[in-house]
Structure 1
Amino acid sequence: MTLLAILLPWLSFILRGRILTGILCLILQITLIGWIPAAIWAVISLQNAREDKRTRRIERAIRESNRR
């Protein structure tokens, strides 16, 4: 998914369900100069999404361990 975020940043957003962000990223990517910031934006967004998922999983495990 990281390679997709670098090569086609707009598609990375759309596949994760962020359609309006994907369209905005596509508009930014249309220009050659805008492609680099779009790719960086997509990779950072992907990493943040992975971090949020990991954090939710840890919080759930802590809550379950406190119940016992």
Structure 2
Amino acid sequence: MLLAILLPFLSFIVRGKVLTGILCLILQITLIGWIPAAIWAALSLNNERADKRNRELIRAVRESQR
């Protein structure tokens, strides 16, 4: 999460979203754009974690029904 706030573009690139990382870097180049880029990266990271958690829950429910 700290990486998403300090270096938002790098947060995307590390997770394999290179084009999104480049777009974020362009936004981040300006000081005013840094805040929206950091928010965008943090929200994206949270959404990715929530999606992973939901996939694991769905898999566990399906396995328990067998």
Q: TM-score interval w.r.t. the shorter chain?
A: over 0.9
In the TM superposition, what whole-angstrom CA distance separates every residue of 1:3-46 from its partner, at most 9, and x where no partner exists?
00000000000000000000000000000000000000000000
Superposition TM-score, scaled by structure 1 size: 0.96
In structure 1, the gaps of 5 or more residues are none
**Structure 2, unaligned runs of 5 or more:** none
TM-score, normalised with respect to structure 2:
0.99
4+ runs of 1 displaced by more than 6 Å?
none
Coordinate RMSD, CA, aligned: 0.3
- Letter of the structure 2 residue corresponding to residue 21 of structure 1: T
Q: Report the AA paired with residue 16 of structure 1.
A: R
Are residues 1:6 and 2:27 paired? no
Task: Using the aligned pairs only, state the percent identity.
Answer: 76
